[in-house]
Amino acid sequence: MAWLRWDRGRQENGGKEYFKMLLARSARLRFDCYLLRYPATSGLDEHVDPAPDGFEHHRVNLILRQPATGGLFLCDRAIIDRPRLKYFRPDIHPHRVTEGVGERLVLSIGWLRKGRRPAGQA
């Protein structure tokens, strides 16, 4: 993935496209930061993002632009679920984005932390 360039997001997404731009990443610090862009009528199918063995995956999403309708982030077990701020564990919490009418823009910051519990358990 190229830095500061739009790349296609998750390919297995039911034919709906979204794009991500890498803003920062550190293998040593185990974090990344992306700008995510969901074009009009796009969304994201429900999924989990696996973490490497022995690690927990944490992510904070800040919604910068919300579509006129739809484009909602859905995660039944989000740790923080405010209208524009989402904090969740993408490795164990299934999540998705509903189709929207209008563009959706998200700043997404994720990090890995050494696990305190076996993988797959909340």
58-92: pLDDT as tens digits: 999 999 999 999 999 999 999 999 999 999 999 99
Element (H, E) at 109: strand 104-114
Is this prediction's pTM over 0.85?
A: yes
Report the alpha-carbon distance of residue 37 to residue 59 in Å, rounded: 17
Helices (H), ranges, the chain: none
For 99-116, the pLDDT digits (tens) are 999 999 999 999 999 987
Identify the CA nearest to 1 among candidates 25, 28, 30.
25
For 35-64, the pLDDT digits (tens) are 999 998 888 999 999 999 999 999 999 999
The pLDDT, as a whole number, for residue 82 is 96
